[in-house]
Amino acid sequence: MTGWGPYGVVLAATALTTLVATGVWRWFAVRRRLVVPPDERKVHAVPTATLGGIGMLVGFGVGLLVAWGTGDFAEVFGASTEPLGVALAVVVIHGVGAIDEVRKSMGSPSYLHDGLSAPAKMAGMVLAGSILSIAGVTVLHFRVPFGESLGFGDLLVLSPDLSALVTVLWVLGMANAINFIDGLDGLAAGIVAIASGAFFLYADLLSDEGLIDGTNIGPLLAVIVLGMCVGFLPWNVHPAKIFMGDNGALMLGLLMAAATISVGGRSSDPFSGQTFFFYAPLFIPLVILGVPIVDTAASIIRRALRGSSPAAADKDHLHHRLMRLGHGQWRSVVILWLWTALLSGVVLYPAYTGEGNAVVPFGVAALGLALYTLFHPGVRAARAAAADDD
């Protein structure tokens, strides 16, 4: 893989551009009243600018152009149509999210009901995933742990039609996972920043072992996503000055899907003597992005049991539950950031050391974080106040 220096240049260019572009857009959004007003489902107290994903989109474009212009990523840009396909898919899914946000922000007083319908948003995400597949960013094969014992082999090679389907489903899952978790200031951007940084380190390790080559676009996308989040976070941490909106959250989800597909869906060679994560790299994002994925799965199951639509809004996401426990916005966000970092460590440390027992310290850290989450003094105070009210 290209040395870390060129990736650092792309990271810096993307982060700085996103930082500046988001500030400019916020100034425009406030004056055009493109804001999210407070309501019973939101946790912010004042109207806040939205569509911050536009600043991230500009950062993405500049990061991709800088990578192309330096010549250090000639193999990536010269080998296939994948960079163009990713760019087109990003524009499509960003456009779908932007239309939804504009309709909602202009739909007051019925703010919660004037966005795009769930089928329309789903169709846009399917279109973006299909563009990725057509451009070559697609799941080709993956290893299945214990596949031999289950009778179908440990390496699954997908047919073109099944490959396209799996790719679209992967995009749908990732995009919705990031969109669902985007409920507190800085939460989604921070989680994706940690996850993309961890995934870049993992891709670098795969490259060192010869399991992916210089034509793979995954590491470059991971660095660009990291730069987008780093540049956006100063505007988005509590108290947020601007929200990324559905356009930003869906875009981040698609880019993480493209990066993980490029790395995990292409690595067919086993790497004996190493950890489970080298054996089955497509499982990596399921661990690193465990927080939003678990939250999304729980939301779908919860709403199905209630008989409501999977897209129906509620206040039972992980971050809402943390706040009901007595954690404020900032502490709830930090707790979920720490869980993401912890899950990333579960993947990276054993992979770098080759020692399966390296997960033990992370198990201890997970227990400590769980105890902190449940028994922090703020939680006890909230429970005492609730008991008094009863």
Q: Where are the alpha helices (DSSP H) in the chain?
A: 4-31, 53-70, 74-79, 82-105, 118-135, 147-150, 160-181, 187-208, 218-236, 245-264, 276-279, 284-288, 290-306, 318-325, 329-353, 359-375, 377-389
> Does 179 appear as a known binding residue?
yes
Q: Tell me whether residue 246 is annotated as binding.
A: yes
pTM reported for the whole predicted model: 0.82
Q: Is 69 exposed, middle or buried (0-12, 13-18, 19+ CB in 10 A)?
A: exposed
pLDDT of residue 45: 61
The pLDDT assigned to 113 comes to: 47
* Of 48, 105, 27, 41, the residue nearest 242 (C-alpha): 48
Q: Summarize pLDDT for 189-235 with one digit per residue, the tens.
A: 999 999 999 999 988 888 887 778 888 899 999 999 999 999 999 99
Asked if omega into 109 is within 30° of 0 (cis), the reply is: yes
Q: Other CB atoms closer than 10 Å to residue 5's CB: what's the count?
A: 9
Distance CA(167)–CA(258), nearest Å, equals 9
The residues facing 141 across adjacent strands are 157
SS3 141: strand
H/E run at residue 36:
strand 35-36
How many C-beta neighbours within 10 Å does residue 386 have?
11
Under a CB-based contact definition with an 8 Å cutoff, are residues 137 and 217 in contact?
Answer: yes
3-class SS at 307?
A: coil
* pLDDT for position 109: 45
CA atoms of 50 and 242, how far apart (whole Å) = 5
pLDDT of residue 22: 97
Q: How many angstroms separate the CA atoms of 195 and 343, rounded?
A: 9
Residue 87 CA: distances (Å) to CA of 58, 76, 98, 176, 252: 11, 14, 16, 19, 12
Q: Could you tell me if 115 and 101 are in contact, meaning their C-beta atoms sit under 8 angstroms apart?
A: yes
Q: Which of 231, 245, 295 is nearest to 93 (CA)?
A: 245
3-class DSSP state of 147: helix
Residue 36 pairs in a beta bridge with: 48
What residues pair up with 157 in beta bridges, in sequence order? Answer: 141
Q: Which residues of the chain carry a pLDDT beneath 70?
A: 1-2, 39-45, 105-114, 142-155, 265-283, 309-317, 319-320, 325-327, 354-390
* pLDDT at res. 94: 96
pLDDT, position 23? 96
Q: Measured in whole angstroms, how far is the alpha carbon of residue 91 from the centre of its chain?
A: 17
Euclidean distance between CA atoms 265 and 336, whole angstroms: 27
